[in-house]
Amino acid sequence: MLSRRQMLRTAACGFGSVAFAGLAAAAERAAHHAAKAKRVIFLFMHGGVSQMDSFDYKPTLAKEHGNPLPFDLPGLIRPDRLGKVFAPKWKWARHGGSGQWVSELFPHTAKVVDKLCFLKGVHTDGEAHGQAVLRLHTGEANFVRPSVGSWVSYGLGTLNENLPGFVCLDYGADHGGERNYSNAFLPAVHQGTPVKIASAPGRVPQVRHLVNDHLTAARQKEQVDVIRALGEAHLKRAGADPQLDGAIGSFELAYRMQTDAPGVLDLSKETAETHRLYGIGEEPTDAFGRQCLLARRLCEAGVRFVQVASGYHWDHHGSIEKGMPESAARTDKPAAALVADLARRGLLDDTLVLWAGEFGRTPVSQVDRGAPGRDHNPHGYTVWLAGGGVKGGVSHGETDDFGYIAVKDKVHMHDLHATVLHLLGLDHEKLTYRYAGRDFRLTDVHGHVVKEVLA
Amino acid sequence: MTRLLALAAALALAPAATAADPPKLAPADEAFFEGKVRPLLVKHCLACHSAADKKTRGGLALDTRDGWAAGGDSGPAVVPGEPDKSPLVKAVRYADESMRMPPKGKLAAEEIAALEKWVAMGAPDPRSGAGGAKKPAGVDVEAGRAFWSFRPVADPKPPVVKDAAWPRGDADRFLLAAMEARGVRPAADADRQTLLRRVTYDLTGLPPTPEEAAAFLADRSPDALAKVVDRLLASRHFGEAWGRHWLDVARYADSNGSSFNPPFREAWKYRNWVIDAVNADVPYDRFVTAQLAGDLLPAASQAERDANVVATGYLMFGSKVLGQFDKPTLLLDVVDEQLDTVGKGLLGLTLGCARCHDHKFDPVPTRDYYALAGILSSTRTLAGPLDEPRADENDWSRRGLGPGGDEKVAAFADADRFAWVKAGRKLYAARAAAARASSPFARAKAVAEVAHWQKTHAAYEAKLPPMALAPRDADEPADERIRVRGVASSPGEVVPRGFLRVAAFPGQPAVNPKQSGRLELAKWVADARNPLTARVQVNRVWAHLFGEGIVRSADNFGTRGDPPTHPELLDFLARRYVEGGWKLKPLVRELVLSRAYGLASAHDAANAARDPDNRLLWKHNRRRLSAEELRDSVLAAAGTLDRTPGTTLIEHLPLKDLGETDAAHLATLRDDRRTVYQPVIRNLLADVLEVFDFANPSMTVSRRPRTTVAPQALYLLNSPFVQDAAGRAAKRVTAAVPTRDPAAVVDAAFRLIVCRDPSAAEREVLVKYLTAQFEGPGTMTDHDVAKLCHAVLAATPFQYLD
């Protein structure tokens, strides 16, 4: 395995070595086994989606509504704010050829269920958002560790020399902030590049410092040229220095990004039909629709890992009956559109879509917020995967009859990570990075690939 | 009775017997094992617990009898005949939340019953094989002491060199001897302009002024450089630059970060304490002792006591998961983070591994980890809830300053703390609402709201006693229990508080059982006989001046770290450092006045062929300006750098989670003082810090990453900060060159930004660029010069120190 510095040293001098470094170094590590997926789109449902109101159908809840839970609460520190069993009020039906249960709040997702793989016995650690969000994104909450996307970028590199390998859309500063897309101790080239779109003015994609409204394009080219000339004079004086070489190359790459990225970020290049499919231009789907469409465009342009923050609106402690339909309506159509759109473009086969929140919610009501809601629940919940080498139209894993605790075919967060890496051709036990004298892994000492869902 | 004795004898002999000769089972036992147990183990357990497949999670193998008999990290898995005492049975029963097997789902009732029955039968198992999980032999601490970094610091003599004229000091002799042995010739000396720029940045983080450059070039006396060095060491800016190096190690920040990110209002007092201590050249042993246990030290005055308390902020800066519901785990996590910081920062060791198991590579057994952990778990870092008695987030410990300070803080906490936190949040929110208000009516309402909360908040602020972020000893200090696999809820054996046995020395302090033991820990760390402390610190100083440490893995002196390139030199420097009173400034002075420090950074193909990594230091390592140096220098070029010391800029921030919505407000708080005085808000770092490899403030950092990535170029090209500074610098240049002669303008801009004259090649390139920017013939505008300055600010001669 070559270090970045060695790479720069051995790469041909001059322009291009920076872009090259990430790719070639990754090629050295690539593929522990044949990959099913080349790229990942991770739709992060921030706040924690109620499994009982979405995909984990539990008829027992209707029967037991208003009764006390027949077993002890699993390890919650705040039992005082939890009440009785609380049944979802939505209609449920089986959908698709596979007959997956979906609540009426997700009519669009219902149409693509034959492409989805539901994991219904997922569990994690951490009953507070921050811990669970950090664990979902980095596998760890107490220490700074590289995020999943950074590991993937480190493992596989980018597919496009002019764009970063890992992009995150609309990640905020809360619940760990940049740690959720941080490279930590991995080389900085593997850090997630933040792009704002849903949270940007006019919902026009923004990359920090990408635009120069100070100089015309021609003038900026002259400026980049003179910076390069000064660098080359410096390099000549120095004899040889990979750092200077890299610095000169970084300006070339920056300039190319500045030239190329706006085209990728420009959603107006898509047809009106596609905009409609994603729910762009209508509410409440416009924001998430744009995010999902941009994610697809970035993937097409060669980005390995795109993670999309839905916005922190799933945290329905109070008033789940009002909040849940709203959150579902914002995300259902765009997420389903993404799956359908990837499929019709032939991209779903090698693109893995992961739809997940940081935890699920309780089947008993939370009673301290006026209208009834549901509290955090890391003990059992549902996520779905699509494409990229996972079976479609299946459900794997179960919670108990109340939907509270994963009891069968459980999938821990570390297992989910191991599975994502596996689909990308990476062995989670072999993808390591030596830091402070230790070989670190995304899954630490844990993780099992969920082999049952591999296509 | 006879039977019982026979059974006891058989049991006592069992391990020996199994190794040599597998027990012959009764046919019924064998049938039961083969029919019920083996298939179950294969189906549910062996994927993770098989010695044959080299998968022994938790150290446990279940594919041989020896495997379960020896057991894993938590001891033997099966106690024959005792299902209720067998961890394996407990695990499959899912009784204990921390140990449920198989992890994917509980076995069927009949499967559990089969295992219970099998154990009750005495666990008959025909499977032999030496393939039982290899029990780690345990850490051999005594053998570990043979490793170089745990040996006492030696007393090497500077070697004799062939070229006796080359060395200027003893360090040079060590370096030259190594070069001579490898047939490598040192590079030429750097030119004086390069050397001045290098030493000025290295010692103060700032560029030399044009006057300083002119004075140095004019001073042809042999001690011209020494005079410069003495001036720089005496400058307050020395402490700002070298204090910042320490703040990296101390993972200093002005907010908690992590998942709940309130500001650390009083953190700046620690930061300024560090800067002052470096400037006063407080000996490193005292510097460390104050940070680990300043509150337990005797003090001659209130001022000294307060400074000592402020220093203990070192233990407080961990990024904590304050909202962790599981408070016992939170406490253990806090201790773990402190040990990680102390281990890497002070001892050059990764201790964290030993939380869960004996360190796999270094001679640090789990016992030693919990011996240290007991000291820190006898120290209170956290306080109760931050707001509302029922809130989830913990507060952190504070200590009062001034006479009776602790009592005043306690009284305030009891009476007013929650109300004060609330008022601060309300005021902050009201101000934000007032700024957003669009209609006159809304504005009037918001202004009234602000006035109300301002008054309320001011009343509490007036009562707020002066305080510092600082820990205290627990009311009842106690030894800690080993936690099996590091899980808070799996307590094991109690371990007396103490230190690492591998670095123990005769006559080391013993923990006072009535206190936490921090004072003794500090004395143990900061002792001349501790083999690690001085080596680690001297190495770090070396790395800051030469680009790489003598031990390149500056925070890992363990077996997985890099061995020293010049072991005798390291010991020579460490010994002299301690003998000279642990003082930083004389060490820095000696090193920067060495011949080696003053070498040119130019490449040499012959040397590079022999030593491509420059481990022999045959040339100086070129380095890029740090994030702080970059920002400070850009401000200096713009003429806007405020060189006065800073205090706090975040006093008004409420104790709330700082997030995205606060980013814009936080950006307005920065002033034009040096970067070290700007608040470090975790999760919301200033762009320039984030982009240019600032030390991650949530972890202890001995060596910052060194990256060359496109976002840095984008920042330099397109950030308003650089654009604005280029405009200001241009005005200074044109003011100095009223003729606006292009060559003179280029020279002035280059001198202002790069602190030297441009070379002929550089001048030619820049004059051509500048004149190409003119919009009309021969008319040079400030805007043209701004573009010139911008290009120079972005280019490598400014970005790098040769």
Look at residue B276 and tell me if it is in a domain.
no
Q: Which of residues 362-381 of B touch A (CB under 8 A)?
A: 362
Residues B24, B110, single domain; the answer is yes
User: Could you tell me the two tokens for B41?
Assistant: 């183990």
Assign B308 a pLDDT band (cuts: 50, 70, 90): very high
Which pLDDT score, from 0 to 100, does residue A403 have?
A: 96
Residue B258: helix, strand or coil by DSSP?
coil
Establish how many alpha carbons lie within 13 A of residue A221's alpha carbon, considering only the half-sphere containing its beta carbon.
5
Radius of gyration of chain B (CA): 32
CB of B749 closer than 8 Å to CB of B733: yes
CB of A45 closer than 8 Å to CB of A357: yes
CB of B141 closer than 8 Å to CB of B363: yes
Q: What is the pLDDT of residues A182-191, one digit of tens each?
A: 888 888 788 8
Residues of A in contact with B333 (CB under 8 A): 142
Q: Name the residue ranges covered by the structural domains of chain A.
A: 31-205+266-453
Q: Tell me the shortest Cα–Cα distance from A330 to chain B, in angstroms.
A: 21
The stretch A71-100 carries a mean pLDDT of: 88
User: Could you tell me the two tokens for B549?
Assistant: 């440490």
Q: Is A170 on the interface with B (CB under 8 A)?
A: no
Amino acid letter, residue A100: Q
Query: Residue B714 and residue A407: Cβ atoms within 8 Å?
Result: no
Q: Is B774 on the interface with A (CB under 8 A)?
A: no
| Selected residue of A230, A413, A438 to mutate for chain B interface (largest B Cβ count, 10 A) | A230
Q: Which of residues 339-358 of A touch B (CB under 8 A)?
A: none
Q: Which CATH number fits domain A31-205+266-453: 3.40.50.1000, 3.20.20.140, 3.60.10.10, 3.40.720.10?
A: 3.40.720.10
Calculate the dihedral angle through the C-alpha atoms of B106, B107, B110, B114, rounding to the nearest 10 degrees.
Answer: -120
Query: Residue A230 and residue B714: Cβ atoms within 8 Å?
Result: no
Nearest CA in chain A to B707: A188
Of B326, B683, B761, the CB nearest to A233: B761
Q: Is B319 on the interface with A (CB under 8 A)?
A: yes
User: Could you tell me the two tokens for B347?
Assistant: 């001892």
Residues of A in contact with B104 (CB under 8 A): 121, 408-411, 448
Q: What is the residue-wise DSSP string for B346-371? A: II----GGGGTSS-SSSS--HHHHHH
Chain position carrying tokens 């015309």: A216
Q: Tell me the shortest Cα–Cα distance from A36 to chain B, in angstroms.
A: 23
Residues B315, B427, single domain; the answer is no
Residues B432, B526, single domain; the answer is no
Instruction: Tell me the range of A24-38, B40-54, B378-392 where mean pLDDT is highest.
Output: B378-392
Residues B362, B324, single domain; the answer is yes
Residue A293, Cα to own-chain centre: how many angstroms?
14
Query: Residue A224 and residue B717: Cβ atoms within 8 Å?
Result: yes
User: Could you tell me the two tokens for B52?
Assistant: 């044959």
In this structure, the number of other CB atoms found within 10 A of the CB of residue A66 comes to 10
The stretch A395-421 carries a mean pLDDT of: 97
Q: What are phi and psi of A25, to 5 degrees?
A: -60, -40
Of A78, A134, A227, the CB nearest to B794: A227
The lowest-confidence range among A113-127, A162-176, B238-252, B507-521 is A162-176
Q: Is A325 on the interface with B (CB under 8 A)?
A: no
Q: What are phi and psi of B458, to 5 degrees?
A: -60, -35
Q: Is A75 on the interface with B (CB under 8 A)?
A: yes
Domain around B460: 408-464
Q: Is B50 on the interface with A (CB under 8 A)?
A: no
CB of B166 closer than 8 Å to CB of B186: yes
- Using a pLDDT cut of 90, give the percent of chain A over it: 69
Look at residue B293 and tell me if it is in a domain.
yes
Residue B118 has pLDDT above 70, yes or no: yes
Look at residue B199 and tell me if it is in a domain.
no
In this structure, the number of other CB atoms found within 10 A of the CB of residue B211 comes to 8
Q: Mean pLDDT for chain A?
A: 89
In 3D space, the residue among B675, B674, B672, B629 whose CA is nearest the CA of residue B798 turns out to be B629
β-bridge pairing A193-196 and A411-412:
unpaired
In 3D space, the residue among B378, B392, B288 whose CA is nearest the CA of residue B342 turns out to be B288
Residues B449, B493, single domain; the answer is no
Residue B488 has pLDDT above 90, yes or no: no
Residue B801: helix, strand or coil by DSSP?
strand
The lowest-confidence range among A305-314, B380-389, B528-537, B729-738 is B380-389
Residues B434, B508, single domain; the answer is no
Q: Tell me the shortest Cα–Cα distance from B117 to chain A, in angstroms.
A: 24
Chain position carrying tokens 């604005």: B724
Q: Is A217 on the interface with B (CB under 8 A)?
A: no
CB of B790 closer than 8 Å to CB of B748: no
- Using a pLDDT cut of 90, give the percent of chain B over it: 71
Beta-carbon contacts of B367 under 8 Å, excluding residues fewer than 6 positions away, are: B482, B495
> Which of B446, B464, B482 represents a domain boundary (last residue)?
B464
Residues B369, B489, single domain; the answer is yes
Which pLDDT score, from 0 to 100, does residue B30 have?
A: 84
Which pLDDT score, from 0 to 100, does residue A77 have?
A: 61
Which pLDDT score, from 0 to 100, does residue B5 have?
A: 41
> Which of B464, B484, B505 represents a domain boundary (last residue)?
B464
The stretch B347-360 carries a mean pLDDT of: 85
Residues of B in contact with A434 (CB under 8 A): 560
Which pLDDT score, from 0 to 100, does residue A333 have?
A: 98
Of A130, A214, A226, the CB nearest to B766: A226
Residue B149: helix, strand or coil by DSSP?
helix
Q: Tell me the shortest Cα–Cα distance from B352 to chain A, in angstroms.
A: 10
The stretch B290-296 carries a mean pLDDT of: 98
In 3D space, the residue among B87, B131, B118 whose CA is nearest the CA of residue B25 turns out to be B118
Look at residue B294 and tell me if it is in a domain.
yes
Residue B704: helix, strand or coil by DSSP?
coil
- CA–CA gap between residue B115 and residue B94 (Å, rounded): 13
In 3D space, the residue among B637, B782, B634 whose CA is nearest the CA of residue B722 turns out to be B634
Q: What is the pLDDT of residues B362-377, one digit of tens each?
A: 889 999 999 999 999 9
Q: Which of residues 338-357 of B touch A (CB under 8 A)?
A: 340, 344, 350, 352-353
Which pLDDT score, from 0 to 100, does residue A30 have?
A: 57
Q: What pTM does this model have?
A: 0.83
β-bridge pairing B472-473 and A305-309:
unpaired
In 3D space, the residue among B512, B256, B269 whose CA is nearest the CA of residue B405 turns out to be B269
Look at residue B65 and tell me if it is in a domain.
yes
Evaluated on CA atoms B570, B574, B580, B582, the torsion sign reads: positive
Q: Is A224 on the interface with B (CB under 8 A)?
A: yes
CA distances in angstroms from A433 to A184, A421, B798, listed in the order given: 11, 15, 33
- Using left for φ > 0, alpha for ψ between -120 and 50, and beta otherwise, residue A399 falls in beta
Instruction: Tell me the range of A17-26, A122-131, B666-675 where mean pLDDT is highest.
Output: B666-675
Question: B726-749: b or e for each residue (b if 16 or more CB lie within 10 Å)?
Answer: bbbbbebbbeebeebebeebbbbb
Q: Is A50 on the interface with B (CB under 8 A)?
A: no
Chain position carrying tokens 């939890």: A82
Instruction: Tell me the range of A8-17, A183-192, B442-451, B785-794 where mean pLDDT is highest.
Output: B785-794
Question: ipTM of this model?
Answer: 0.84
Query: Residue B795 and residue A212: Cβ atoms within 8 Å?
Result: no
Residue A193 has pLDDT above 80, yes or no: yes
Which pLDDT score, from 0 to 100, does residue B97 have?
A: 66
The stretch A44-63 carries a mean pLDDT of: 97
Nearest CA in chain A to B797: A234
Q: What are phi and psi of B453, to 5 degrees?
A: -75, -30
The lowest-confidence range among A119-123, B20-24, B144-148 is B20-24
Q: Is B73 on the interface with A (CB under 8 A)?
A: no
Which pLDDT score, from 0 to 100, does residue A242 have?
A: 82
Please write down the HEC assignment for all residues of B47-59.
Answer: CCEECCCCEEHHH
Between chain A and chain B, the number of residue pairs with CB atoms below 8 A apart is 255
Q: Name the DSSP letter for residue B557.
A: -
Residue B541 has pLDDT above 70, yes or no: yes
Look at residue B28 and tell me if it is in a domain.
yes
The stretch B669-687 carries a mean pLDDT of: 95
> Which of B484, B502, B531 represents a domain boundary (last residue)?
B531
Assign B19 a pLDDT band (cuts: 50, 70, 90): very low
Look at residue B420 and tell me if it is in a domain.
yes
Q: What is the pLDDT of residues B122-136, one digit of tens each?
A: 898 888 765 444 444
Residues B19, B111, single domain; the answer is yes
Comparing A204 with B580, the larger pLDDT belongs to: B580
Assign B777 a pLDDT band (cuts: 50, 70, 90): low
Residues of B in contact with A432 (CB under 8 A): none
CB of A412 closer than 8 Å to CB of A123: yes
- CA–CA gap between residue B48 and residue A414 (Å, rounded): 15
Q: Mean pLDDT for chain B?
A: 91
Which pLDDT score, from 0 to 100, does residue B10 have?
A: 38
Residue B13 has pLDDT above 60, yes or no: no
Q: Is A432 on the interface with B (CB under 8 A)?
A: no
Q: Tell me the shortest Cα–Cα distance from A84 to chain B, in angstroms.
A: 21
Query: Residue B105 and residue A448: Cβ atoms within 8 Å?
Result: no
In 3D space, the residue among B224, B392, B318, B508 whose CA is nearest the CA of residue A368 turns out to be B392
Q: Tell me the shortest Cα–Cα distance from B389 to chain A, in angstroms.
A: 13
Beta bridge partners of A206: A196
User: Could you tell me the two tokens for A137?
Assistant: 């994104």
Look at residue B558 and tell me if it is in a domain.
no
CB of B70 closer than 8 Å to CB of B135: yes
Number of domain units in chain B: 4
Query: Residue A210 and residue B714: Cβ atoms within 8 Å?
Result: yes
Residues B365, B435, single domain; the answer is no
Residues B451, B480, single domain; the answer is no
Q: Which of residues 597-636 of B touch A (CB under 8 A)?
A: 601-605, 608, 612, 622, 624
Q: What is the pLDDT of residues A233-286, one digit of tens each?
A: 999 999 988 889 889 988 988 998 888 899 999 999 999 999 999 999 999 999
In 3D space, the residue among A284, A240, A316 whose CA is nearest the CA of residue B603 turns out to be A240
Q: Is A157 on the interface with B (CB under 8 A)?
A: no
The stretch B628-640 carries a mean pLDDT of: 98
Which pLDDT score, from 0 to 100, does residue B17 have?
A: 36
Residue A355 has pLDDT above 50, yes or no: yes
| Selected residue of B709, B724, B764, B767 to mutate for chain A interface (largest A Cβ count, 10 A) | B709
In 3D space, the residue among B292, B299, B250 whose CA is nearest the CA of residue B271 turns out to be B250
Q: Is B797 on the interface with A (CB under 8 A)?
A: yes
Q: Is B389 on the interface with A (CB under 8 A)?
A: no
Cis preceding-peptide flag for A284 (omega within 30 of 0):
yes
Residues B346, B490, single domain; the answer is yes
Residues B295, B359, single domain; the answer is yes
Assign A2 a pLDDT band (cuts: 50, 70, 90): very low
